[in-house]
Chain A
Amino acid sequence: MPTSFKYFVLRSINAVIVLFIVVLMIAFLYSNMADDMAEDRIAQQLLAFSQGLPEELSEEEKEAAVEYERNRLRTIQGLDDPFVEKVLRRTWNTFIFNLGESTTNHNYQAEDGFVTTIILMYLPRTILLFTTAACISIFVGIGMGLKAAQVAGTKLDKALSIFGIITASLPMWWVGMLAILFFAYQLGWFPASSYPFPSKEAGMSYYTGILRRMAMPLGTIVFVSIGGRAWATRNMVTSVLQDDYIMAARAKGVPERKVIYGHTLKTAAPPIVTSAILSFLLSIGGAMITEVVFNWPGMGYLLRTAIFSESDMPVIMGLVYITTVLWVVGYLVADLLYGFLDPRVEVGAEKKV
């Protein structure tokens, strides 16, 4: 399959270019701030250094030593380099996951202060919550949408549409706050906060503890996203249902089930699947904020902690980069999947999503 291989390669190159551009933009935006922070750190180091100098040195000697040390530190950090060079260096470092060390690490309970270590500790929890929610929402949502398309125009269909429209206009994390008010505060069914998170040593109760804490955030993400998914699916299916070949199939007496699951889905599947993936990628931000509301210790929670209590620049940068990577990879997968499901798509050819 030379065409599809070429497609794959070109799309991947495109993704890497996009990633690089994004990192460049980010590095450009935060470069000055990072400089200021580096200057602050150097000032602190110099203070400690000058206090540690031997007593017998004269004032001039001390000053000279401090000056020497200042220049040394500045050169290591590359603070006197031209702006463009600094931006490019930061871009490259971020690009190859050289994310540096957290400026404070006591709050993250990680083994060491490296940003990659900290993020790798929180990332799996986000992936666990997010992919579970995505799978449920995509499969059940598409199923609901197909059902609605079959009974288009009925009360059930209309009710589903209204449910979809209303939930699509709600902030996910706010629904989460309401869920806490109702299910945790009022009814007391679930813990209001995922904190403290169960530790792995706890054995069996580790898993039940996670499930109990996961129930509400998972339910929230699914509740908010499923209606919109169903509604979008329904619309894509019904628009295909108006095509002539469907009318021909119906006229021929093909059973309605087969019309929907056989004929229609063959055409509608590529946009349904890709739009499902894309809309889930778009909801990464919302899901990360939902984590915050439930104190679910994932990337969103880490982001708020880093912003709020610590203002920990390297960690924030790392999180922003990882989110970008996740997005770009997801976008690439959606793209490739579209090409795979719809063989008519070739490089450069117009897509109709």
Chain B
Amino acid sequence: MRFEDIKERSTSIMREFKGQRMGMLGFGIIMFLLIISLAAPWLAPDTDGLWANPGRWSDNPRGAAPTWADYILPGSRAPHDIREDYDEIEGNNVISYHYENDYDYPPSDVTIFLSGTSSENRVFLYIDLIRPDDIRIGLVNGVRISVENGTFSNRFSLRSEDGRDRAYEFGLNAHMEFHPGDINPPDRDSVNTDRIPFAKRNEDILLDTESLKGTYVLEIEVVDIDEFEDEGTRVLFRGQKYGLMGTDSSRRDIFMGWVYGARYALMIGAIVSLTSISLALLYGMTSAFYGGWVDEIMQRVNEILLGIPLFPILVISMYVHRSIWTFVLIYTLLGWRGLAKIIRARGIQIRQDTYIEAAQSLGSSGGRVITRHMIPQLLPYAIAEGALMIPLIVIAEAGLSVLGLSDPTVVTWGRMLSEAYGGQATIAGMWWWVMLPGLGLALLGFGFITTGMALERVINPKMRQR
């Protein structure tokens, strides 16, 4: 087959493929995933290799829903609000931040980073939260911070042990006022203290909080400070919603992981499927071309190989060496056998065509006939089969991750789902963490299956009658 023939054949296949509606839809999905994965380094900076590094994600909220959750679910959620600048300063030692809480789900946490200079060898820190109902919750009351080389820094979080104590004290106070004589109020660890500072002061404050809307003022006073440093002084009002896909319980941005998940899924799928179809073409065609005892032996070998189960071999080899390359290698070694059998059957038909005979009588060697004449004939079919293989490959990798056999250095959709299972996302109702990575797998599967089937129909017109 000459290059022109191949070109002509592929353009005619392309033309017919465009008429396949489902196929075009699937192809569009593949293109979408491809673009996303090529743009991954820009869409998700500092993600690859840092997925397991908590420091990378420490500024994010924990377990926040996607931003669009507000549109499809009842209630409004506090956005993620990072304040680099304070709203007011009194003298040189009191700064305050104003927070407008209009949300049914108030911030999940407030984290305060402080740094400043002082000529003393210690400073004292006071943090108060002044609520819309004019109640002042003392979060930090005169904690001594030592100053080294004229500077100090400190960090306080509502979710720290101290923060939870203060929130609980406030809640318990209110609880006792509404339930006088309750001899057995809920203890701190049975209460969700995160929501108490932003909750209405009513009889349910400890158990079933309701957001108190209005303006909150966070007042920070440092006694004996010379100056606050802009660099290290900031406040995070951690949101209940974040980004396109929310965050998981380790604060990681699911969108960033998703993007790299797409990248690795396509990469693994493409490598394994391309090498598998190449091996299958080579094996099947050699067997078909030479026939006789060569064919007989190659078919017996293939029959034995076909009896080997892939899943247990993958499990043991990934257990021995956890890397995506182990997966790629083992899957490739066992991925070609079924296809080789079909290719050989097709190859035997092609072998009898007159042009093969002609090529041989003109003195073409066996290798040349196989590579130049027989393989191009079946290449489109093999590509269609390769596309149909990709979802199986990617899903197998994801499944192994759920068993705990994932490459610790890369982010894949399967790994994210495994972490979702380990983090009890289903039981805690963190639907975004479960649904979105899996949706990636489903999209990829749908895209390649519809594309592969459309290609099959175009190449093999007999199937169209079905």
A340 is an interface residue with CB less than 8 A from chain B: no
Give Cα A193–Cα B421 distance, bound, in whole angstroms: 11
Q: Which of B159-180 contact A (CB under 8 A)?
A: none
Could you say which residues of chain A place their CB within 8 Å of the CB of B450? 165
Among B288-326, those with CB < 8 Å from A are 303-304, 307-317, 319-320
Which positions 298-353 of chain A face chain B at CB distance < 8 Å? 300, 303-304, 307-308, 316-317, 319-321, 323-324, 327-328, 331, 350
Cα-based distance from A316 to B319 in the complex (angstroms): 9
Residue of B nearest to A192 (CB): B427
Q: Mark A152-166, 1 if CB is under 8 A from B, else 0.
A: 100000000000011
B404 touches A173 (CB 8 A): no
- List 9 extra interface pairs beyond A239-B466, A304-B402, CB under 8 A: A22-B313, A26-B313, A168-B449, A171-B395, A174-B398, A174-B441, A238-B466, A320-B316, A321-B312
Q: Which of B309, B316, B429 makes the CB contact (< 8 A) with A316?
A: B316
Name the residue on B nearest A326 (C-beta): B309
What is the minimal beta-carbon distance from B108 to any residue of chain A, in angstroms? Answer: 20
Give the contacting residue for A14; candidates B304, B316, B448; CB below 8 A: B304
B399 touches A320 (CB 8 A): no
Within 8 A of A (CB), among B399-425: 399, 402-405, 417, 420-421
Q: How many residues on A have C-beta within 8 angstroms of the other chain's C-beta atoms? A: 58
**A65 CB–B CB distance under 8 Å:** no
Partner of A235, one of B391, B398, B417, B466: B466
Residue positions of A touching B, CB distance < 8 A: 14-15, 17-18, 21-22, 25-26, 29-30, 32-33, 152, 165-166, 168-171, 173-174, 177-178, 180-181, 184-186, 192-193, 235, 238-239, 242, 281, 284-286, 288-289, 292-293, 300, 303-304, 307-308, 316-317, 319-321, 323-324, 327-328, 331, 350
Interface check B198, CB cutoff 8 A:
no
CA distance A14 to B305 in the complex (A): 11
Contact of A185 among B317, B426, B441 (CB under 8 A): B426
B 424-451 to A, binary, CB cutoff 8 A, 1 in contact else 0 = 0011110100110010011001101110
Instruction: Verify B442–A169 contact, CB threshold 8 A.
Output: yes
Task: Verify B403–A170 contact, CB threshold 8 A.
Answer: no
Q: Assess whether B309 is in contact with A307, with CB atoms less than 8 Å apart.
A: no
Judged by a CB distance under 8 angstroms, whether B44 is at the interface is no
Contact partner, A193, options B303, B427, B466, Cβ 8 Å = B427
Could you write out 25 A-B pairs with CB less than 8 Å apart? A14-B304, A21-B304, A25-B313, A26-B313, A30-B320, A170-B441, A170-B445, A171-B395, A171-B441, A174-B442, A178-B435, A178-B438, A180-B426, A180-B427, A181-B429, A285-B396, A286-B399, A292-B402, A303-B315, A307-B403, A307-B405, A317-B316, A323-B312, A327-B309, A331-B307
A-binding residues in B (CB < 8 A): 303-304, 307-317, 319-320, 345, 391, 395-396, 398-399, 402-405, 417, 420-421, 426-429, 431, 434-435, 438, 441-442, 445-446, 448-450, 453, 465-466
- Cα–Cα, bound, A26→B465 (Å): 45
Asked whether B442 lies within 8 Å of A14 as measured between CB atoms, the reply is no
Distance (whole angstroms) from the CB of B32 to the closest CB of chain A? 16
Q: Which residue of B lies closest to A242 (CB)?
A: B465
Q: Which residues of A contact B429 (CB under 8 A)?
A: 181, 185-186
B351 to chain A, nearest CB (A): 15
- Ordered nearest first, which 9 A-B pairs have the shortest CB separation? A169-B445, A285-B311, A18-B307, A327-B309, A174-B438, A180-B426, A320-B312, A307-B404, A308-B404
Q: Do residues A328 and B309 form an inter-chain contact, with CB atoms below 8 A?
A: yes
In Å, the complex CA distance between A350 and B287 comes to: 14
B319 adjacent to A307 (CB under 8 Å): yes
**In the complex, which residues of chain B have a beta carbon less than 8 angstroms from the beta carbon of A285?**
310-311, 314, 396, 399
A residues in contact with B466, CB < 8 Å: 152, 235, 238-239
Report the minimal beta-carbon distance from B204 to chain A, rounded to whole angstroms. Answer: 22
| With A177-B417, A178-B434, A323-B309 as contacts: A293 and B304 at CB distance below 8 Å | no
Q: How far is the CA of A185 from the CA of B430 in the complex (A)?
A: 10
B426 touches A177 (CB 8 A): yes
User: Given contacts A14-B303, A177-B420, is CB(A26)–CB(B312) below 8 Å?
Assistant: yes
Q: What is the bound-complex CA distance between A307 and B450, given in angstroms?
A: 36
B217 to chain A, nearest CB (A): 37
Contact A327–B427 (Cβ < 8 Å): no
Known: A169-B446, A171-B399. A316 touches B307 (CB 8 A): no
- In this complex, which of B307, B310, B317, B429 has the most chain A Cβ atoms within 10 angstroms of its Cβ? B307
Judge whether A21 and B402 touch: CB under 8 Å.
no
Give the complex CA separation of A317 and B320 in angstroms.
Answer: 11
